[in-house]
Amino acid sequence: MARGDSALEALGGRLAATRRLTLDLAAPLSDADATIQPHPDASPAKWHLAHTTWFFETFILRDHVPGYELYDESWPFLFNSYYEGEGERHARPRRGMLSRPTLDEVRGWRATVDEALQSALPNLPPETLKLVELGIQHEQQHQELFLTDILATFAENPLEPPYGLADISRDAAEPLGWIAGRSGLVEIGAGSGFAFDCERPRHQALLHPHRIASRCVTNGEWQEFTADGGYSTPALWLSEGWDWVQSEQVERPLYWHDDGTHFTLGGRREIDPAAPVAHISYYEADAFARWAGARLPTEAEWEDAFASSDPTIGHQLDRAGSVEPKPGGGPFGDVWQWTQSAFLPYPGFKPEAGTVGEYNGKFMCGQFVLKGASCATPRGHSRASYRNFFPPSARWQFTGVRLARDS
């Protein structure tokens, strides 16, 4: 077999496995579960199934497979997320109003698109195969969003239905250590291999003397912060963060209740003090760091510290089911870690050509970078140069904090 054939076979295999995992994630859901939208930032599960299919149908099949006819000409309007180059689209906050197409109809679309993709693969030129890779990586991102959005959906229901069996760990928290970071000029950003456009080009960054925590902040440490009046001490908060705490009446991480329990994908559970805290905003992470006499790391500090750690090790998503941050993980897994770095273009940044150039670059305003991976990140998706990003008030993702200090 020629080298090109085995690479193509591997790509086809990863495409099939990725598409399969999304279906498996949706398997426990009713059409109603998959249709409702808990808040404007989250999307219905059915929408994720459809939108990832739209991405492949539009940017591969429609654009690069002669004679391909759209499965349904009216659906691209419903399932384009934010690509202005693809024209008008359904309003994001109203995605939960789409009772049609049904979940089964969306599954039918997926099957047709999957079949067309697999038969087109051998004839696609290398540039288009790169778009297939982008489609796989895109779908993996939506698998994580699928889980965080279904958590938000079930959290809205007073019956508190579990999405899956509880993923229980009884490990103790590791002792907190401080790793001496390098200082001086280092290089960050993606080298060879797949990376999103925003991770390039690789470039120099200047690090000042610092230390970075050996693990993330735990629920137990967060309970100390809460008991010490962390949420009612304005001096700990950024001005914008304090306004947010007041206006949203925030007293604890999202999904925490005042009786020592929290809502998880496995249903309502006791909070495990040894597990990494999750579902906190940038504002909360920053206030906690100030309370602890520390600060958030910069993205360059984080990336340099963990550039040689294996990004495939840790508590990440391996199969469909309930996930939860657990003690004992490494830098990749459990929770994405807020950095103090704004999501901005690297020196010499060039967006991808064409409409997919809207993927990252146009969001480089008002968002902060998170590093690592979470328990909902498909294993193999992340790497040290990965730049996840969210606005500072977002906390429905598995977001946590790893502290840093000047030294």
Catalog residues that contact Fe ion under the rule CB under 5 A: 81
Q: Which residue is nearest to Fe ion (CB)?
A: 81
**Helix (H, G, I), strand (E, B), or coil: what is residue 404?**
strand
CB atoms under 10 Å from CB of 177, counted, come to 10
Q: Given the complex with Fe ion, which of 142 and 252 has the nearer CB atom?
A: 142
In the complex, the smallest distance separating the C-beta of residue 399 from Fe ion, rounded to whole angstroms, is: 19
- Asked whether the CA dihedral 273, 278, 284, 290 is positive or negative, the reply is positive
Q: How many CB atoms neighbour CB 130 within 10 A?
A: 14
CB of 142 to Fe ion, least distance (A): 6
Q: Which two tokens stand for residue 266?
A: 């496995």
Give the 3-state secondary structure of residue 399.
strand
Q: From the CB of 295, what's the least distance to Fe ion, in Å?
A: 32
**Which ranges of 277-324 does DSSP label H, i.e. alpha helix?**
282-291, 299-306
When the beta carbons of 42 and 275 are compared against Fe ion, the nearer one is 42
Task: Tell me the β-bridge partners of 218.
Answer: 276
Q: 3-class SS at 140?
A: helix
Give the Cα separation of 258 and 253 in Å (integer).
11
Whichever of 50 and 300 has its CB closer to Fe ion, that residue is 50
Nearest residue (CB) to Fe ion, 81 versus 218? 81
Query: To the nearest whole angstrom, how small is the minimum distance from the Cβ of residue 143 to Fe ion?
Result: 11
Angle, helices 126-155 vs 45-56, to 10°: value is 170
> Could you tell me the smallest distance in angstroms from the CB atom of residue 293 to Fe ion?
39
Q: Are 277 and 216 in contact (CB under 8 A)?
A: yes
Nearer to Fe ion, 81 or 322 (CB): 81
CB of 76 to Fe ion, least distance (A): 13
